[in-house]
Structure 1
Amino acid sequence: MKKITYVLTLIVISLLSFNANAQDILKSRDLSSVQVDYLSEDDLAKISTQLKSNNASIDDVEPMALSKGMTQSEFNKLRIKLLEFDKKNSDKDVKDKNNNSKTGTKNSEFGRRQEIVKNDKVKDSINSLIFGSELFDNPTLNFEPDLKLATPMNYVLGPGDELQISVYGVQEYNANIPVSVEGKVNIDNVGQISVSGMSIEAATQKIKAAIARVYSTVRSGQSQVSISLSQIRTIKVTIVGGKQPGNYSVSSLATVYNALHLAGGPGKNGSYRSIELIRNNKVYKSIDIYRFLVKGDQSDNVSLKDNDVIRIPAYSQRVTVQGEVKRSGIFEMKKGEKFSDLLNFASGFNEFAYTASVNVTQKTGKEFKVHDINESEYNTYLPQSGDVFRVTKILNRFENRIKIEGAVFRPDYYSYNEGMRISDLITRSEGLKEDAYTKRARIIRLKKDLTTEIVNVDLSAALSGDLNSDIELKREDIVTVYSILDFREEYKVTIDGEVKNPGIYEYFENLTLNDLVVQVGGLTGSASKRVEIARMVKSDVVNDADPKRIELMEIEITSDSNEQLKNFVLKPFDVINIRKMAIYEKPEMVKVSGAVTYPGKYVLANKKESVYNIVMRAGGLSSIANLDGMRIKRPVKEEQIQELESVDLNLDKKLGSEQQLGSKGNDTLNSKLSKKLRDQVKFAVIPINWEKIVKDKNHYSNVTLFPGDEIEVAIFNEGVKVAGNVLLTSEIPYRKGKGFKYYINAVGGVDNKGWKKKAYIIYPNGNASVTSSFLFFRAYPSVTPGSQIVVPEKPESKKMSTGEWVSIGSVITSLALLIVTAFK
């Protein structure tokens, strides 16, 4: 029994020894008695905290621990346990952080924490016009306390707060200690200290004094004590009369505006100016939000305490401001406040407001009445509940404006003053221009009944000092000074033909043919010496014997020079035509491609250049040429497409009344045809019979070529291509004597959509032939090497419905009965 007691005593002594050392392991003198297996998590936490406070790792203190008696095996155990402890706490911190983000715990980068109170904002459409409501609808404006700030002065501690207590210097200690529900903090080796209800400053002094009694170095000044808030408690406040009234859990640092924002601000009839903060059943503070909105004064935004009540009573007076103010809406007024105060709430008149008076609609016991407030009454008029103030715009007119326009150097609006005359206005506008017409000027004047009248002025007399002509002006007069250029006709001349830029040009006095030719860029190389000038005939007398409408003049010029020896003087509206030379054609080419000796482009040597001539100039046909495969590709010209677009196809008459396309359908068909010619066809194909041309040069196949034509000579091909609605598109070797059906059968015949009786063949030279039929006999076209057989698709036929068959049957039955009746 004595041995057991002895062993237990040794274990307790060892643990006590290590507990003491765990608090200051770096400064302990003897670690030989430390047994790591008996360390608790609190002991490991203290060692880990001590290492972190000294910015050291467990490996850094290994030499020191071994020198103080700790065995290597024990130290290895300590290293493993500390690593496991740190890893476990690291994972826990991450988990706590994630949980905090979900549950609403806010972690400050300074270590201070506070539970977040969330409240989803609902946009208040009913109170949106009330001045101040926007303060509580904005979710980004929440008046939350800043946890990064230093510990606030006179902060009163209570249960739920957490203090960070640090001792640093010769002796060290660091811990986060919560204030218990009894209002005490429990400090290791110091004991419990009551701090509830004390300010942070008073609690700091009390805790320091208690620590100094235990830590001698604190008492001697060798160690210092630091105390700060690490976590702030949550308090309960009650809000009555808000949009969302109820009990709210807020930070102990929260203020009145923060709580009001959580509750959504005052309710539908709530006051913004007489909000009461009730503490200990007494009104502690009367809050006027307008002081903050208008002046930025936050003196009403006091801190809250636990069990505070915020009461929002109903408003006493509200008025409405509409029109030309900077901030219109509904405003709450206190007793004794004047209209000038209301203007201050609305941020004053805007730049378009009529400020001389304001119209107000008031409510009496039975009906409405209208009252006008003059500017002199703004500081004395007391708004009544329900007043609607309307601030109107200033009139769109000027009290001292006058205008001058026309042939003056500075036409514009000018200020008018009494007694101002027309000569004064012309002087202000920097005088008359050189082209001013001084015999007459016009004044358009606004009369008293707002109608206008014209007053004519002899401008030359007015400027010479004649007071009768120098008319006195009036407000809103518009003075017009004419220009002599306004009375001149706009003269033009026209030049056309062989010049660089033909067109209509402005006529100037003494304009000559040389001047005009140079102005239009000169003559072209194809200009002839013949020039025709048409000039209009002017006469006051009608001469029926002379049928001439114009006067024609023909002159000769030097076609290779823009400067003529005889410089012909032009007159207004002359039309000049410079003719083209009789013979002036640039060399134009055609193209030969395919199986010829020298393919390429060839110039048309004469106007009657034929196919035979060009092919022979190309060296004739090569040995691999297909004599039946020659053709001409002729480009479709733009003018041909335009002619097609202008043709009325008259399809609506041809298709009958049941299938009329109308003008819209006709236009659509024309546009489709022209689009196909432009984008797909592009060429017209002319077949050539070379064998006939060789025998007879006058054969119709020996056509005359046009610029841009291309002669294609196909290479001999022994295959026959079969395409379209057949089972297999393929090319079948040509077999002499085999007919049309042989090649269709060779590709498996037609498919279910193929229209065999309308099959056709395209020969190498571009000719085509279709299948023909007579009675029960069908004649197929002959097949030659290099040709292509095409089987088209059957058109979709509309099957008759059951109702149509019934209708036809009833008609036939009626006819049969009619015939039988007729022969009885």
Structure 2
Amino acid sequence: YELFQEAFAEFQQNQREKDTALKRYGLTLFDREVSTFAPTDDATVPGDYRLGAGDHLTIDLFGTENNHYDLQVTRDGQINIPKLGPILVAGLTFEDAREFIRSRVAEELLGAQASISMGRLRAINIFLAGEVAVPGAYSVSALTTISQALFQVGGISDIGSLRNIQVKRHGKVAQIFDTYSLLLQGDSSNDIRLRSGDVVFVPPYSGTVTVTGAVKRPMIYEYIQGESIRDAITMAGELTPDAYPSGISVVSKALGKSLPEVKNIDLDLATSSSYPLQDGDLITVPISTDNLKNAVTIEGAVVRPGIYGWVEGQRISDLLNSVDGDLKIYADLGYGLIVRQKNQRLDIEVLQVDLAAAILNKGSLEDVLTRPRDKILVFGLAKVTDLSSVDSEKALDQIQISSEGGTLDLEEEELSDIEKEVASVQRDVLLAPIISKLQSQARAGEPVKTASISGAVKSPGIFPVTTNFTVKKLIAAAGGLEDRVYMESAELRSLFASPDNEILSRYTEIDLLAETDERAATKVQSRDHLHVRAVARWNPDESVVLSGEIRFPGTYRIQKGESLSNVLKRAGGLTEDAFPIGTVFTRESIAKMETQRAREFAQSIIRDFAASQLTKEDKDIDINEVNSVAEKLDEFTGSGRLLVDIEAAISGDQLADIRLEDGDNIIIPQRVSTVTVVGEIRRPGTHSYQKDLDLNDYIGLSAGMTARADNKELYIVRADGSVLRPESSWVRYTAEASLRPGDTIVVPIDSDYTNNIKLWREITQIVFNSTSGLAAIAAATR
């Protein structure tokens, strides 16, 4: 009961919010500024208007008499026409008075005729009382009706009745005016003209009902005694096309009871539709279901997805009769599903079809007969590669799609739309609600109708078990086999219950070659799992790139564990001009590691700086400089250079003859005979290599070091990317620092000239670990 009370309290709160948004119908009719008088002198006077004291008649005589008179009806009801005398007109209609005056003129003034019209109308005094905006006495035109009088006073208050407006004359109710008759039916017969002394009385409304849901005008409506649900729906503009008239609910607030009552109304039944209204009723008209009776739905990789009409004898080929015209270019023709409702509990069953066979062989077993409310699913290929001649106005030259992180070779602005379109028809997307339904409808004696597959298939996962489900059908559901598959053996695991009701597993070896024969096809049951083995070390696409001084440069496919020397041998070896010492060998995995280490070092710099500020160890480093260094490290991308000894690898040194990986890039430069000197040198430059010159000689050739040079930190970058730090005596560098062709001598700046030299040295070290040569040195010194 407490839960019900909470639910009902929430219902009441929602209803109050709805009532706040909804307004009472007709209440805004009289919304306007208050005015005590509206001129009506120019209004057309109807023929049944009755003359009274104060009205003016305009009489024009022509013929033997030519005169114009503006005559007022006196208090005794007469007008005085010269040569004719007084004529009693009060109480006559305007039409009768006009005919009477014409006849008198024709009888008494021979040869004269009269034209009679109304002049100024008399004013009458009325009183408006009750629930009006501004009650009180008003002076209005004699032509004023009930509705016009309400306009004059600014309309009706929020609690005033719109359907029981009373005109009291001489103490009795002379007329009841219902504004709904005027607004809903255009009937103004009860909107009578007022007379002097009339009282217009607006009582509070006696009851309202709220009509919401599938009606044309959901609002709050005032009702009168004797009206029914049918009348309320009519006031709300009738039902919308999607309304469900047999399920209308009415919440009534019954007097003397703690809780409202709910009643269901079928508007098509006379007994229900005549149900009387009560004050505060909430009438809700629900929307009819979207379920269709005779329809078939098509979804997935089709040109025209949607709902189609079903007829007796309809087959798949009647709905999809052309591969080119009805299916997308990336549709999987080997696998399609029909999802069918099998009982009144809305349980489903799934039929698997070969779409290509169904479309091309009309009337075959694969061309299944459809039933009402079937859903046909057409999946996209698990892997789509090298599709050309795409039928598209955007003239897409090539589509390359892979279910495992593939790409689309399209114009940038079209990339997202095509990717989304292909992703939306993949198996995991379209099958998710079906698998969920099959799992939820499983019950005792009726196990879940799903099986799974993994391994060397294009789209591993869970799939529906259909009629006569075999290993071949399960593989087709998974998009087919990959080229790395081991055809001679796969493993099928089946679950079964032991006599002790313990769930056990049974493993069966499957020959995939034999499964292509339908007569030897192995059945797959509920919860079975098929693992398709893959050939070990299957790497048909792994390759390396050889360039530079190679006899036959290019991209070479490699096998697992193939050595550097073997690939160089396949490429014809090195040319005579090759400079193997300067080989640039880059590897993607190393590049990623270098990039990651640069990111980590950037975070370390920030942490160390923050710690130094807290302990006041170093006050000379500016935070902007630290952030600049960290940003450059965050933007740094490693080159992945690996130091290799090509000559040793070719000569048979197993330690130097490294194993290659997919994506390795090997560049053999042309022979060089130069030595470069950079850094804090008076004349940086490149010099010809001479065997008898040492490190001191080359520094001398560059005019020596500058005053800011740090000769103790000098180092040499070899052509192969390695770094050598030579030892020095008091005046010269030792002979151990022998130079080779392609070497670069780097003279760094002394730490006394910069406060953050330690940071830059560490950055330089990172850069030299990933690159080599003059470009790397320039990047570090900048």
Q: TM-score, normalised by structure 1?
A: 0.42
- The structure having more radius of gyration, on CA atoms, is 1
